[in-house]
């Protein structure tokens, strides 16, 4: 079976970059990305490719090359679905905020809506690919909805989890460690569908890097990979607190431990806590699944990764308050970085949101500067927490366009995202414009202690 038309439902951080690369690498396939969000689609179609809604290094060039040739962005969902031989579902699956499984289970409302829409408008057989991270056995639910349409159309369901990390999406997609495809490999039709998707990736990924499994293994592998990665961050963050008490340095510990090839050096960078749309959501999801099978110890084991992460964010904020003589009320604190990591404009679950919220509860005045995150997004993140009114958020926190402006006349500066440009700031000048003693809190181990202390800062860094 040869794929000629692909449709992707959801033009977000996953769907957008993934489809851009497929279109670039497979000029013989027409790729249409659809979304119900008109503003987002309009941004993807903006004549100036620098205005596409997602910031990823290298992405705008690829969009420029493929857009209008075989890559299209549209709000006409029904049309695109019916035309496609293969449909990727890349809609968001946030943690449920209501009802059963509130705060833990994934909300599959958007997925189910997609499935019903696909069932309603399809007039020819299709392969449906789960791209969003989903709880194990979602494919079965999809299958149930799709198979009971009564119009004789046949569907094959594949799981093809996305392993790209934001900020490096283009590289991760171009040279993936592996591509994972789960399908009904015990049936002829299932095998055919798996092979059709293998052939798409084989346009640029070598076959040894394309792994095929049954659907459940594929779905669970995605949750497991994110749980392991997050666990590494929580493990090193746990050590960071112990290092601060004992005089060890967490960077030295991480280096020494990481050189053991059985452990490996990546994902041992101690921080103010992990964020992003995946880690917390996927672990909560794993915990919920384990509990629902009665596996209490398994659930508790993984939940600890989240508990430690919450603790890390809180203890950083507490450290600021304690250091500033136990009160930050009315004090100006500059926050450098709002994105959950560098090189992305995504802020979902970013540690900065929680640190700011904590400090605002202590009546601090917060000034934020992030090179890629908009003021609108920052307020939306705070409003979403619901800690205080929208007016109070806007009066307690201001957003400015340069680091220099953020730090001027402040009591303290906190670095919460590891943007490269913060390393190159004129820290001497920043120091001279701050109130004294001038406190600097490095939540990312971005700055050199000695250089900062020589300038005159009272310096605190995670795990040191
Ligand atoms: C360990 C450390 O590896 C070594 O660096 C340190 O100096 C001493 O402690 P050891 O206890 O000899 O070495 O064996 P190791 O290979 O680490 O295995 C420990 C246990 O884990 C064994 O029971 C082994 O069967 C088990 N294991 C190890 C697993 O169950 N699965 C694995 O993937 C690896
Ligand atoms: C993650 C997975 O890496 C990716 O494979 C999956 O598809 C989606 O989730 P992402 O959330 O984009 O990707 O970013 P990632 O690089 O994994 O970072 C997650 C968080 O952990 C960030 O807040 C980052 O700052 C933090 N982190 C990461 C650390 O604090 N220390 C580290 O050593 C690594
Ligand atoms: P991710 O990081 O998983 O890509 P995003 O939130 O960035 O998540 O993107 C998901 C996109 O899916 C959003 O732009 C949202 O508007 C879109 N979406 C959600 N439900 C539907 C639907 N039923 N039809 C089309 N698009 C949808």
CA of 225 to the centre of ligand 2 (A): 11
Residue whose CA lies nearest to ligand 3 atom number 3:
92
For the CA of 226, the nearest atom of ligand 2: 2
Catalytic residue list: 162, 222, 278
Return the bridge partners of 461, or none. 442
Percentage with pLDDT > 70 across the chain:
100
Mean pLDDT of 101-118: 88
CA of 90 to the centre of ligand 3 (A): 6
What architecture (CATH level 2) is domain 307-461?
A: 3-Layer(aba) Sandwich (3.40)
Q: Give CATH for domain 5-213.
A: 3.40.50.720
From-to residues of CATH 3.40.50.720 in the chain: 5-213, 307-461
- Return the pLDDT at 164: 95
Three-state secondary-structure class, residue 228: helix
Pocket test for ligand 3, best of 12, 80, 169, 349 (most atoms within 8 A of CB): 12
- Return the pLDDT at 92: 86
Three-state secondary-structure class, residue 35: coil
- Return the pLDDT at 133: 74
Residue 247 CB: number of other CB atoms within 10 A? Answer: 7
CB 85 within 8 A of CB 126: yes
Mean pLDDT of 305-330: 98
* Residue 31 confidence (pLDDT) above 80: yes
- Return the pLDDT at 339: 98
* Residue 148 confidence (pLDDT) above 80: no
Which ligand ends up closest to the CA of 261?
1
Q: What is the pLDDT of residues 350-377, one digit of tens each?
A: 999 999 999 999 999 999 999 999 999 9
For the CA of 275, the nearest atom of ligand 2: 23
Pocket test for ligand 2, best of 17, 229, 370 (most atoms within 8 A of CB): 229
Q: Which amino acids bring their CB within 6 angstroms of ligand 3?
A: 9-15, 34-37, 40, 77, 90-92, 110, 113-114, 132, 277
Q: Packing angle between helix 215-246 and helix 279-292, nearest 10 degrees?
A: 110
Mean pLDDT estimate for the chain: 95
Buried b or exposed e, range 254-278, using 16+ CB within 10 angstroms:
beeebeeeeeeeebbbbbbbbbbbb
Please state whether beta strands 126-130 and 155-159 pair in parallel, antiparallel, or not at all (unpaired).
parallel
Percentage with pLDDT > 90 across the chain:
90
Residue 375 Cα distances to 294, 338, 340, 392, 428, angstroms: 44, 10, 15, 15, 27
Least confident of 68-77, 130-139, 281-290, 401-410: 130-139
């Amino acid at each position: 079976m040869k794929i000629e038309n692909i449709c992707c439902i959801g033009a977000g951080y996953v769907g957008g970059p993934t489809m851009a690369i497929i279109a670039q690498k497979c000029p013989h396939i027409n790729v249409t990305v659809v979304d119900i969000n008109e503003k987002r689609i309009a941004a993807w179609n903006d004549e100036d490719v620098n205005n596409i809604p997602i910031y990823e290094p290298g992405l705008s060039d690829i969009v420029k090359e493929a857009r209008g040739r075989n890559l299209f962005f549209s709000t006409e969902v029904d049309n695109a679905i019916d035309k496609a031989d293969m449909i990727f579902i890349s809609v968001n699956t946030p943690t449920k905020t209501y009802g059963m499984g509130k705060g833990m289970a994934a909300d599959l409302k958007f997925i189910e809506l997609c499935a019903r829409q696909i069932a309603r408008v399809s007039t020819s057989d299709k392969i449906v690919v789960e791209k969003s991270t989903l709880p194990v056995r979602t494919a079965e639910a999809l299958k149930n909805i799709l198979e009971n349409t009564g119009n004789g159309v046949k569907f094959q369901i594949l799981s093809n989890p996305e392993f790209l990390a934001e900020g490096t999406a283009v590289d991760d997609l171009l040279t993936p460690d592996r591509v994972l495809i789960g399908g009904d490999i015990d049936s002829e039709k299932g095998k055919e569908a798996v092979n059709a998707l293998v052939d798409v990736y084989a346009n640029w990924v070598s076959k040894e890097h394309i792994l095929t499994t049954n659907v459940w293994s594929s779905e669970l592998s995605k949750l497991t990979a994110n749980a392991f990665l997050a666990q590494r961050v929580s493990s090193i963050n746990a050590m960071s607190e112990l290092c601060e008490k004992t005089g060890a340095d967490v960077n030295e510990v991480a280096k020494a431990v990481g050189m053991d090839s059985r452990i490996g050096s990546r994902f041992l960078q101690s921080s103010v806590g992990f964020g992003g749309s995946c880690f917390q959501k996927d672990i909560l999801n794993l915990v919920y699944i384990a509990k629902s099978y009665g596996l209490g110890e398994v659930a508790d084991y993984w939940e600890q990764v989240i508990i430690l992460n919450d603790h890390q964010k809180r203890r950083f904020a507490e450290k600021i308050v304690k250091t500033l003589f136990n009160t930050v009320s009315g004090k100006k604190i500059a926050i450098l970085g709002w994105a959950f990591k560098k090189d992305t404009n995504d802020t979902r679950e970013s540690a900065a949101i929680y640190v700011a919220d904590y400090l605002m509860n202590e009546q601090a005045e917060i000034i934020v500067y992030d090179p890629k995150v908009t003021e609108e997004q920052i307020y939306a993140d705070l409003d979403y927490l619901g800690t205080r009114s929208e007016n109070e958020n806007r009066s307690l926190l201001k957003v400015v366009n340069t680091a220099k402006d953020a730090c001027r006349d402040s009591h303290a500066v906190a670095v919460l995202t590891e943007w490269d440009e913060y390393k190159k700031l004129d820290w001497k000048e920043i120091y001279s414009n701050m109130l004294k003693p001038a406190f600097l809190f490095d939540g990312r181990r971005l700055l050199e202690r000695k250089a900062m202390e020589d300038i005159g800062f009272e310096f605190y860094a995670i795990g040191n």
